[in-house]
Amino acid sequence: MNDPIPLSSLAPGARGVVTEIKVPVEHRGRILEMGLLVGTPVELVRFAPLGDPVEIRIRGYNLSLRKHEADQIRVRPA
């Protein structure tokens, strides 16, 4: 039942492991440079008041992503 879901579908405080990154090629390098790689554990910290951006915790630091980027990153809930 642990099928991959969009990162933005996690509830605040929930954790998952990145399984796929579907971000367009022209933006993928920036995502990878920030340490968001397949196999990386992530935790969704919170959504901004209007739902965008999304704050995640990865590799010991917090990172904000646009919701449309978080929609394209698949995670397997942990």
CA distance 33 to 21: 13
Domain 5-77 class? mainly beta
Rounded to whole angstroms, the Cα distance separating 46 from 25 reads 26
What count of other Cβ atoms lies within 10 Å of the Cβ of residue 76? 13
Return the number of other C-beta atoms located less than 10 Å from residue 73's C-beta: 24
Q: What is the pLDDT, as a whole number, of residue 1?
A: 60
Q: Please write the tens of the pLDDT for every residue from 16-50.
A: 999 999 988 888 888 888 889 999 999 999 999 98
Which pTM does this prediction carry? 0.88
Residue 31: both structure tokens together: 């995502």
Percent pLDDT > 90 in the chain is: 74
Q: Residue 2 belongs to what H/E stretch?
A: none
Confidence of residue 2 (pLDDT cuts 50, 70, 90): confident
